[in-house]
């Protein structure tokens, strides 16, 4: 079949300019790859997570109690018309000994019947099933925390200090364990007969249930949960916490997946935009280079529409070639990326597929976006008349020197003082940098956005770490101890202060409460903290009203999240809280920020102790240490445990602020790594754009290079002209990128903060990120310019004279 001449020209333009074709194809492929990989990954992750989650028959709500209850209460709950099925468990907090001087909190969960788990099912993976007596099945994600393997004997410390040797009998998978493991708490399952061996009651302290009806709303589930909670409290059992997730969605994992997809989707869209800029740049340069060819085609009868079709076909071929690279690479990468993320979040990816909607999007993006991006330069370049095309000459069409920048460069060039300080190649590089201002602008846009994202990633990381520090600084303690039961406040403080290295200590009251709204409905759980008057271990930021005074009784300070969830409240208003089954009115005297990202209320301990019938007793002690390092905190915690065990005070759990900070940082590092990967992609596109620009500049300045060679310029001097030009462009992009990064990092800090923490991050602009990007962009610019500069230095005078 005979190929028409016009299509031969399209093929010739692609084949004879392989480096330009490769640069454009790769830039489009990077954008398509990012979009396809992100969409495919989210489809796989969200689909497999939902399938796995629903297969466990997830509880619509879970109620945790302070004290124990029996099977009769479970039966009573299950008989409620609103409840479809209910099931109870016993959860015990132990301390696993993971080293000579190291322990790890361990939740040991006992199920009544492992062969008939109805709600929140777990799956055996390895070893025994069900767990033998005096042994434990460890959740697979917690195995690393315990520093042990299946078959190892794990020493477990009881609240009174006794040691029990528990063999790890096998591994299980519990989809709900991730939220604990991310907090550094290991997780496992035991036989109910093992409870007595651990000096624990066989009764339950956790109730899970599923409501009747198809696809119930969260509001309806919350109403049923409130009724169940009331029934539990009327039975004489104190409720610690009520947990109601969004129906059909994993409370912990779904928001993380959404957040990751939102962040990476934004980065992928930026990558696509940058590749569009590169297409505009390349097509504009191609049309400028072939202006005489366009004039000749029109001189022999070609119409503007036909010429446009030629160049649009070239762009379509760019897109199709990019799809050949991006689609399979994106699909394979999405599978491994999905496995990586699923492994971090403790669920399995079982499907490997390229969703049809993703493929259609990739084809649309890979072909349509470059075509749309190229329409402007193609329309402008092909409308040139035969006279304009044939009379076109020189770089910049003879207009250099008309702009303010050009005049400034001419002043530099003609300044005797500056000419003595600046070399001729550097002056030539400066002049050539600004010859093609539109091309320079498009090239700068790719590098500026890539640099802005790069700096933004470092700024977001700094904002995350600063925000976490400020939240934990809100609580000014270093270590904390939770006891198995209440003890006298005076005794707790007296024994705590006996430990060398303790600076100050306070006993606080805690309670999980709910607001009784005027319409009779209830709020979600709100954590109530009751510090002593004039506390030194909390540093609130009051944004409205005031902090608690020593003489305050029925007064509370709420944090901003409470007002977000309960918008009708404000300073001076009354809030009714349910404590120990009774409605207690309090007056809001202030609004604070900081602390943990959850609804929080503060009340004075003396008044709270009276209404909670716990005067002079406490279960939690917080202390500051003389040295604030993790190593010193670990020594203090170990000393506290040994001392309390020696005097007969049962310790349930301990905490070290520095360790908790590290655990939270580990979660955020996942986001930071993803952002850095996307920033690298954008930097690659920027580098490709610069390489394309420099390659086109070499082609356009072939005669200029020939003149330089004719008057004796060395290969090194020719290369230096183009490499310095590339570095100048890189430094200019760095300046603009640093400026753009400030508002961009501020915006992204808000988005990520609200996605992960339900509150904006405290914005911190990263100066180290600015410096690092300067080094990166200089190296990137030099590398991207080297190949075009090398090609330029190899041109001979004969090749120049033969140049068309």
Measured distance CA(624)–CA(626) in Å, rounded? 7
Q: Which helix (H) or strand (E) holds 720?
A: helix 715-757
Q: What is the mean pLDDT of residues 337-353?
A: 83
Measured distance CA(262)–CA(359) in Å, rounded? 20
Mean pLDDT of all residues in the chain? 80
Measured distance CA(499)–CA(750) in Å, rounded? 42
Q: What is the mean pLDDT of residues 217-230?
A: 89
Measured distance CA(603)–CA(618) in Å, rounded? 15
Three-state DSSP class for 327?
helix
* Structure tokens that stand for 608 in this block: 């709270």
Confidence of residue 792 (pLDDT cuts 50, 70, 90): low
Which residue did the predictor score with more confidence, 675 or 129?
129
* Share of residues in the chain with pLDDT > 90 (%): 22
Least confident of 151-160, 605-614, 776-785: 776-785
pLDDT on residue 407: 56
Q: What is the mean pLDDT of residues 526-536?
A: 88
Backbone phi, psi, residue 615, to 5°: -65, 130
Per-residue pLDDT of 539-584, as tens digits, reads 877 888 999 999 998 999 998 888 877 888 999 999 999 887 788 9
Three-state DSSP class for 622?
strand
pLDDT on residue 608: 92
Strand-pair category, 526-530 with 502-513: antiparallel
Measured distance CA(204)–CA(222) in Å, rounded? 22
Which residue did the predictor score with more confidence, 756 or 58?
58
Measured distance CA(562)–CA(574) in Å, rounded? 13
Confidence of residue 759 (pLDDT cuts 50, 70, 90): low
pLDDT on residue 730: 81
pLDDT on residue 182: 65
Measured distance CA(456)–CA(133) in Å, rounded? 54
Could you tell me how many residues make up the chain? 804
Q: Given a cut of 60, is residue 2 above it in pLDDT? A: no
Q: Given a cut of 50, is residue 85 above it in pLDDT? A: yes
Which residue did the predictor score with more confidence, 369 or 469?
369
Which residue did the predictor score with more confidence, 343 or 665?
343
Q: What is the mean pLDDT of residues 651-663?
A: 78
Q: Given a cut of 90, is residue 510 above it in pLDDT? A: no
Q: What is the mean pLDDT of residues 783-792?
A: 71
Per-residue pLDDT of 287-332, as tens digits, reads 766 777 777 777 777 787 877 888 788 888 888 988 999 899 989 9
Q: What is the mean pLDDT of residues 664-690?
A: 70
Measured distance CA(57)–CA(211) in Å, rounded? 12
Q: Given a cut of 70, is residue 696 above it in pLDDT? A: no
Q: Which residues pair with 551 in a beta bridge?
A: none
Backbone phi, psi, residue 168, to 5°: -80, 105
Q: Given a cut of 70, is residue 393 above it in pLDDT? A: no
Measured distance CA(302)–CA(287) in Å, rounded? 16
CB 578 within 8 A of CB 516: yes
Per-residue pLDDT of 577-636, as tens digits, reads 988 778 899 999 998 876 666 788 999 999 999 988 888 888 889 999 999 888 898 899
Per-residue pLDDT of 20-72, as tens digits, reads 677 778 778 877 887 888 889 888 888 888 888 999 999 999 998 888 899 99
pLDDT on residue 761: 76
Q: What is the mean pLDDT of residues 491-496?
A: 93
Backbone phi, psi, residue 582, to 5°: -120, 150
Least confident of 84-93, 674-683, 749-758: 749-758
Q: Given a cut of 70, is residue 357 above it in pLDDT? A: yes
Q: What is the mean pLDDT of residues 283-287?
A: 71
Q: Which helix (H) or strand (E) holds 329?
A: helix 304-345
Q: Given a cut of 90, is residue 104 above it in pLDDT? A: no
Confidence of residue 415 (pLDDT cuts 50, 70, 90): low
Q: Which helix (H) or strand (E) holds 787?
A: helix 767-793
Per-residue pLDDT of 419-474, as tens digits, reads 555 555 555 555 555 565 566 666 677 778 778 878 888 888 888 777 777 766 77
pLDDT on residue 435: 60
Q: What is the mean pLDDT of residues 247-266?
A: 76
Measured distance CA(76)–CA(125) in Å, rounded? 34
Q: Which helix (H) or strand (E) holds 137?
A: strand 135-139
545-564 in b/e burial notation, b at 16+ Cβ within 10 A?
eeebeeebeebbbbbbbbbe
Q: Given a cut of 80, is residue 715 above it in pLDDT? A: no
Least confident of 22-36, 108-122, 198-212, 598-612: 22-36
Helices marked H in 235-303? 253-289, 291-299
């Amino acid at each position: 079949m005979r190929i028409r001449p016009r299509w031969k020209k399209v093929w010739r333009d692609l084949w004879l300019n392989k480096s330009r074709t490769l640069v454009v194809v790769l830039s489009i492929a990077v954008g398509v790859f990012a979009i396809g990989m992100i969409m495919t990954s989210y489809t796989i992750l969200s689909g497999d997570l939902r399938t796995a989650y629903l297969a466990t028959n997830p509880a619509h709500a879970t109620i945790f109690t302070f004290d124990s209850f029996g099977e009769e209460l479970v039966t009573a709950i299950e008989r409620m018309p609103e409840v479809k099925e209910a099931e109870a468990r016993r959860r015990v907090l132990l301390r696993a000994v993971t080293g000579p001087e190291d322990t790890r909190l361990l939740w040991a969960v006992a199920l009544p019947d492992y062969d008939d788990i109805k709600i929140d099912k777990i799956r055996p993976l390895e070893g025994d099933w069900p767990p033998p007596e005096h042994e434990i099945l460890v959740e697979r994600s917690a195995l690393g925390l315990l520093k042990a393997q299946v078959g190892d004997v794990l020493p477990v410390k009881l609240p009174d200090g006794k040691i029990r040797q528990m063999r790890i009998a096998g591994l299980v998978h519990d989809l709900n364990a991730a939220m604990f493991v991310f907090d550094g708490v290991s997780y496992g399952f035991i036989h109910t007969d093992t409870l007595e061996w651990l000096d624990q009651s066989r009764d339950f302290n956790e109730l899970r249930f599923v409501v009747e009806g198809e696809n119930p709303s969260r509001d309806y589930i919350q109403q049923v949960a409130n009724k169940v909670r009331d029934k539990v409290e009327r039975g004489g059992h104190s409720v610690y916490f009520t947990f109601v997730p969004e129906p059909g969605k994993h409370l912990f994992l779904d928001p993380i997946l959404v957040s990751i997809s939102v962040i990476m989707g934004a980065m992928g869209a930026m990558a696509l935009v940058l590749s569009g800029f590169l297409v505009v740049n390349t097509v504009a340069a191609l049309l400028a280079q072939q202006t005489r060819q366009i004039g000749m085609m029109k001189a022999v009868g070609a119409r503007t529409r036909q010429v446009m079709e030629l160049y649009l076909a070239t762009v379509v071929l760019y897109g199709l070639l990019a799809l050949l690279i991006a689609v399979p690479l994106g699909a394979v990468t999405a599978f491994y990326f999905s496995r990586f993320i699923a492994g971090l979040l403790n669920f399995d990816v079982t499907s490997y597929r390229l969703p049809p909607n993703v493929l259609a999007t990739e084809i649309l993006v890979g072909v349509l976006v470059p075509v749309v991006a190229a329409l402007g330069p193609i329309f402008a370049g092909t409308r040139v008349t035969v006279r304009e095309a044939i009379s076109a000459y020189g770089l910049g069409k003879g207009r250099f020197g008309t702009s303010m920048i050009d005049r400034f460069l001419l002043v530099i060039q003609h300044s005797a003082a500056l000419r003595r300080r600046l070399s001729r190649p550097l002056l030539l590089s400066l002049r050539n940098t600004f010859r093609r201002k539109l091309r320079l602008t498009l090239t700068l846009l790719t590098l500026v956005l890539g640099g802005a994202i790069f700096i933004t990633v470092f700024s977001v990381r700094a904002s995350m770490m600063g925000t976490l520090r400020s939240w934990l600084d809100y609580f000014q303690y270093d270590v904390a101890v939770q006891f198995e039961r209440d003890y006298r406040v005076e005794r707790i403080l007296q024994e705590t202060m006996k430990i060398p290295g303790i600076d100050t200590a306070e006993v606080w009251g805690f309670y999980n409460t709910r607001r009784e709204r005027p319409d009779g409905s209830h709020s979600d759980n709100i954590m109530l903290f009751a510090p002593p008057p004039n506390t030194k271990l909390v540093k609130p930021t009051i944004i409205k009203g005031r902090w608690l005074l020593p003489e305050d009784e029925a007064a509370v300070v709420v944090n901003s999240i409470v007002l977000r969830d309960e918008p009708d409240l404000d300073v001076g208003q009354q809030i009714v809280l349910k404590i120990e089954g009774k409605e207690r009115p309090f007056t809001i005297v202030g609004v604070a920020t900081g602390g943990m990202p959850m609804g929080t209320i503060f009340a004075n301990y003396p008044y709270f102790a009276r209404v909670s019938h716990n005067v002079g007793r406490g279960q939690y002690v917080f202390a500051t240490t003389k040295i604030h390092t993790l190593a010193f905190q670990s020594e203090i915690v170990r000393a506290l445990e040994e001392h309390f065990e020696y005097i007969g005070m049962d310790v349930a759990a301990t905490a070290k602020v520095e360790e908790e900070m590290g655990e939270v940082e580990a979660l955020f590092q996942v986001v930071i790594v993803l952002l850095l990967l996307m920033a690298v992609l954008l930097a690659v596109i920027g580098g490709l754009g610069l390489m394309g620009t420099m390659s086109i500049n070499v082609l356009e300045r072939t005669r200029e290079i020939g003149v330089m060679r004719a008057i004796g310029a060395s290969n090194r001097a020719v290369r230096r002209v183009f490499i310095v030009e590339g570095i100048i462009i890189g430094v200019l992009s760095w300046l603009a990128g640093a400026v753009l990064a400030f508002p961009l990092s501020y915006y992204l800090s808000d988005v990520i903060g609200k996605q992960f923490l339900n509150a904006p991050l405290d914005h911190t602009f990263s100066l180290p990120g600015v410096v690092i990007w300067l080094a990166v962009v200089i190296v990137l610019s030099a590398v991207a310019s080297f190949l075009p500069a090398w090609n330029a230095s190899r041109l001979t005078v004969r090749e120049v004279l033969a140049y068309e």
